[in-house]
Amino acid sequence: MPRIRLVDLLRSESCPGKVFVQGWVRTKRDAKGFSFLEINDGSCLANLQVIADAILPEYSSAVLPARTGASVEVMGELVASQGKGQRWELRAEKVVLTGSAPEDYPLQKKGHSLEFLRSIAHLRPRTNLFGAVFRIRSRMAYAIHRFFQERGFVYVHTPIITASDCEGAGEMFRVVTMEREKVRTGKEEFFGKPTYLTVSGQLEGETFACALSDIYTFGPTFRAENSNTSRHAAEFWMIEPEMAFCDLEGDMALAEELVKALVADALDFCAADLVFCNQFVDKELIQRLKFVRERSFQRISYTEAVALLLASGKSFEYPVENGVALQAEHERYLTEEHFQCPVTVYNYPKGIKPFYMRRNDDGATVAAMDLLVPGIGEIIGGSQREERLDVLEANLREQGLDLDAYRWYLDLRRYGTVPHAGFGLGFERLLMFVTGVGNIRDVIPFPRTPGVAAF
């Protein structure tokens, strides 16, 4: 008999009769004459209650020793449940104890702190919260591909090992072979020159946009920034669309449309997991997501944002000043207190942004944009790209970067240059927003942060 997943079984309107299920025991209660096992197979939040009668021949060998954490296979008859909150329960006819779990199984039924669960990242997907978060993560990855594919964007795989520093900030991990001696003497680089783990697929993405028009990337990125915050990871995933014949206006419109579409998809397809997050993580989550799906976002220039912050009368830890980068606390003031909705801030001072952003006619700002959301701050950073060869070369020189290393990138401006624009959506920041989870470490299966690379 084929296995039926709990998500399908618990959804079915009519009783499927005889079924075969597999999963892990969440809890078990032994009563006189029978045992109740709550089992879960990870396909959904809900457990299935199994009733195993003591007359089963394997009762003492398979049912009694099946403790919390054990894996089991159960064949039986599904019947309407007498109990509250569940439609069906399973009367076991055969129970197989696939793998037992001794008493030291760390996830006994009691509340665990998120910090403790991080230390057992190999087991935490078996909890309600992490099951929900990682099912939502999977759905969002699918929804992202769907969003772009439906709009004719081509998915491009940009390299993970690269020789270019896209952001020009030097926050990169170096790639070396185990033969350190050779690397130290600088004579024998594996790739013939220093290479790094990519901080962004943008530059390579641009080459494809300048050929295939609308493209996107979706892959891992790495930053060696030493920021031990709840929204920074050393390894995270980024979605980077890039569009030829597109300006900042088109870029901001796509970013807003994407965030709305992903929120709508989560509300439609992750309803049960979101209800759980709403109950146990953030009581305003669903209300906020519905608000974001329905209302239009705000847009303001960087100059306007600074003026609002200065007029707010708030004392920020980092004082606001024209020409300096906005900090998370400033971003959160704008989205949470002032506008109370997502905000796109555009036209930033050129001094705080990378070389590839298009210089505005005022000479002082660039056509950059950041999309900020309540609870987190920036989830998207993007810009129109500098398509004028002479201006781009001047930018590289100004930022002390080696023109030779960017020769291929400059070629895009030499041969058939076009206005083009794109952005990067931090996948984990999006997931924090959609789930309400407050720490980036809890939306990544195995987080990498300064000092931590367990598992």
Per CB under 6 A, residues contacting ligand 4AD are 166-167, 200, 202, 223, 225, 232-233, 236, 238, 240, 378-383, 422-424, 426, 428-429, 440
Residues forming a β-bridge with 51: 36, 91
C-beta closer to ligand 4AD: residue 35 or 365: 365
Tokens of 240: 């980077």
Name the minimum Å distance from CB 278 to ligand 4AD.
23
Angle, alpha carbons 433-295-325 (nearest 5°): 55
Pick from 383, 454, 451: which is nearest to 422 by CA?
A: 383
Within a 13 Å sphere around the CA of 101, how many CA atoms are in the beta-carbon half? 19
Written as six digits, the tokens of 193 are 């020159």
C-alpha–C-alpha distance, residues 417 and 390, integer Å: 12
| Rounded least distance, CB 345 to ligand 4AD, Å | 12
CB of 199 to ligand 4AD, least distance (A): 6
Distance CA 448, CA 328 (A): 21
Q: Which is nearer to ligand 4AD, 19 or 248 (CB)?
A: 248
∠ CA 373-374-379, rounded to 5°: 30
Token pair, residue 369, equals 């944009």
Query: Is residue 134 classed as helix, strand or coil in its secondary structure?
Result: helix
CB 258 within 8 A of CB 243: no
Nearest-approach distance from CB 387 to ligand 4AD, in angstroms: 14
Taking the complex as a whole, how short is the minimal distance between the CB of residue 232 and ligand 4AD, in angstroms?
4
The distance of closest approach from Cβ of residue 439 to ligand 4AD in the complex, given in angstroms and rounded to an integer, is 12
Q: Which is nearer to ligand 4AD, 167 or 214 (CB)?
A: 167
Shorter beta-carbon distance to ligand 4AD: residue 232 or 358: 232
Question: Minimum Å distance from CB 218 to ligand 4AD?
Answer: 12
Closest CA to 269 of 372, 141, 445, 152: 141
Which CB atom, from 406 or from 423, has the smaller least distance to ligand 4AD?
423
Bridge partners, residue 282, by sequence:
none
**Residue nearer to ligand 4AD on the CB measure, 131 or 424:** 424
- 107: three-class secondary structure by DSSP: coil
Least Å distance, CB 311 to ligand 4AD, is 26
Pick 309 or 443: Cβ nearer ligand 4AD: 443
| DSSP letter for each residue of 1-27 | -----HHHHHH-SS---EEEEEEEEEE
Q: Which is nearer to ligand 4AD, 24 or 423 (CB)?
A: 423
**How far apart are alpha carbons 142 and 140 in whole angstroms?**
5
Q: Nearest-CA neighbor of 118 among 448, 420, 411?
A: 448
Least distance to ligand 4AD from the beta carbon of 198, Å? Answer: 10
Cα(332)–Cα(315) distance, integer angstroms: 14
Q: Which is nearer to ligand 4AD, 96 or 325 (CB)?
A: 325
